[in-house]
Amino acid sequence: MRISTESPTEPMLRPADQDRPEFRILVICTGNLFRSPLAAGLLQQGFDEVAPGRFLVDSAGTAGVSAEPVTHEVKSLAAEWGFDLSGFRARRLQSTDIIESDLIIGMERWHRSQAVILEPSALKRSFTLREFARIIRPLPAAVGLTSRRRWTQLVSQAQRSRMPHADRPECDDVVDPHQDWSRLCETMIEQMVPGVFDIVDWEYRSTVCSPYS
């Protein structure tokens, strides 16, 4: 399926962002020390492989402790996954982070809600990781567009397709491992990684067929 660039319902890029080539994604958790830096690192790594220079992924925490480093366990897991968090420092979510982002991804429904409370304009572009992944997973690739424009359209389409999880609402969340890393780490990985792969894969499917990639 090809999404036409002449569709009258195509979402418009915000005026201040017309000349910005990259699509900006903000990943949010609570402390910005476990889930969000790991998910953001995985997303950035994946996008850099399939569409270099087209995506900028950042992270923040709704209760982030500024300048706090991640734990040794988190750094080690990131290294296993192929990226470096040794210089990473946590930071607290600000309204400017949300305003400047094209897509906001929370680790839990509560994080998504906090983003919208802080900046109401984010309502239509805020999802949880697993929610966004399950919505876009069945959607066909969009070729014939730049990455930024097709993702602007994708976010709009995902918002229109949003519905509660068929089983339980909490199935859209990623568990917080900070209280018991050894027990909850594997659950976090099982819940997080497939969603990241689904999100990157949608861009891959679109990019391999696109003359604009």
CA-atom Rg of the chain in angstroms? 17
Percent of the chain with pLDDT over 70: 89
The burial of 152, by beta-carbon neighbours within 10 Å (0-12 exposed, 13-18 middle, 19 or more buried), is given as buried
| pLDDT band (50, 70, 90) for residue 16 | very low
Tokens of 81: 């996954």
Q: Please report the pLDDT score of residue 212 as a whole number.
A: 54
Q: What is the mean pLDDT of residues 76-98?
A: 97
Measured in degrees and rounded to the nearest 5, phi and psi for residue 79 equal -65, -40
Q: Is the pLDDT of residue 4 over 50?
A: no
Q: How confident is the model at residue 171 (pLDDT cuts 50, 70, 90)?
A: very high
Handedness of CA 78, 130, 1, 124 (dihedral sign): negative
Question: What is the pLDDT, as a whole number, of residue 10?
Answer: 46
Integer Cα distance of 56 and 40 in angstroms: 9
pLDDT of residue 39: 98
Q: What are phi and psi of 158, to 5 degrees?
A: -65, -40
pLDDT at 143: 85
Using an 8 Å Cβ cutoff, are 110 and 131 in contact? Answer: no
